[in-house]
Amino acid sequence: MPKYPRADERFRMVERQIEARGVRNSRVLAAMRDIPRHLFIPPPYDRGAYDDCPLPIGNGQTISQPYIVALMTELLRPNPGDNVLEIGAGCGYQAAVLAALVKKVTTIERIPAVADLARHNLAALDIFNAEVVVGDGTCGYPQNAPYDGIIITAATPEVPRPLAGQMAEGGRLVAPVGGREVQELVVVEKQGGRVTESFHGGVRFVPLIGEHGWEN
């Protein structure tokens, strides 16, 4: 028996929206089948929790489209021992998916009321390896660095400069980089003192607002 209700909808979501578009990492697919996305979304929008779209979570913010969560998680190549930083906690769903795949997640949220929602949602599922911090994620979070993975889930004009110094050797960063309306998913890897970038298609995120992001 699956642990949480609406498992049939989650299985369908993974098959039709995520596997069908080419996400193959079996651990990522399993986490997306397990984590009850509907419990992260305030009513009435929770009804559409397994639809192929982002949804409002309050305070003008959104929960990302399931496929984008899966794609970004796969691009991060999460390993069980990893220490990961997320910037833009929102309702905490992406953090919950990551927490199922890595050792420790730190997730930063700018809006205190949204951070409270993430904390509440993670605690309700007994997820203890994800820490929610209120602050400006464009400065990273040096207290828990270095990070094997950094994922930015808000649109940024460029990769915030302080983050490079908080990445572990062999680390990866995934971020939507570009304009306020549309961005491209960028993966930055730090390997043997060299930094490489690759590009993975267009996306639309709410803006990353802060010292090294958008002004407002």
* Pairing outcome for strands 104-109 and 147-152: unpaired
* Shortest Å, Cβ 157 to ligand SAH: 12
Residue-wise over 78-93: b if at least 16 C-beta within 10 A, else e? beeebbbbbbbbbbbb
Closest approach of ligand SAH to the CB of residue 83, in Å: 18
Contact call for residue 156 and ligand SAH (CB under 6 A): no
Residue 178 binding ligand SAH, by CB under 6 A: no
Please report how close the Cβ of residue 87 comes to ligand SAH at its closest, in angstroms. 5
d(CA 73, CA 104): 14
**C-beta of 157 vs 196, nearer to ligand SAH:** 157
- What value does the CA radius of gyration of the chain take, rounded to a whole number of Å? 16
Choose one: 14-22, 62-70, 77-85, 178-186; the region binding ligand SAH (CB under 6 A).
62-70
Nearer to ligand SAH, 58 or 146 (CB): 58
Using rule CB under 6 A, residue 87 touches ligand SAH = yes
Q: Select from 41-49, 71-79, 106-114, 194-202 the region that touches ligand SAH (CB under 6 A).
A: 106-114
Contact 207, 155 (CB under 8 A): yes
What the block records as the tokens of 25 is 């990492």
- Please state, in angstroms and rounded to a whole number, the distance separating the CA atoms of residues 34 and 36: 6
Using CB under 6 A as the binding rule, whether residue 213 contacts ligand SAH is answered as yes
**Under a CB-based contact definition with an 8 Å cutoff, are residues 139 and 163 in contact?**
no
Query: Quick check: 121 binds ligand SAH (CB under 6 A)?
Result: no
Residues belonging to the active site: 64
Q: Which residues of 14-30 are buried (b: 16+ CB within 10 A; e: fewer)?
A: beebbeeeebebeebbe
Sorted by sequence, the CB contacts under 8 Å of residue 2 that are 6+ apart come out as 34
66 is an interface residue for ligand SAH by CB under 6 A: no
Binder among 37, 110, 119, 172 for ligand SAH (CB under 6 A): 110
Q: Is 149 in the site for ligand SAH (CB under 6 A)?
A: no
Where do contacts with ligand SAH occur on this chain (CB under 6 A)? 61-64, 87-88, 90-91, 93-94, 108-111, 114, 136-138, 153-154, 206, 208-210, 213
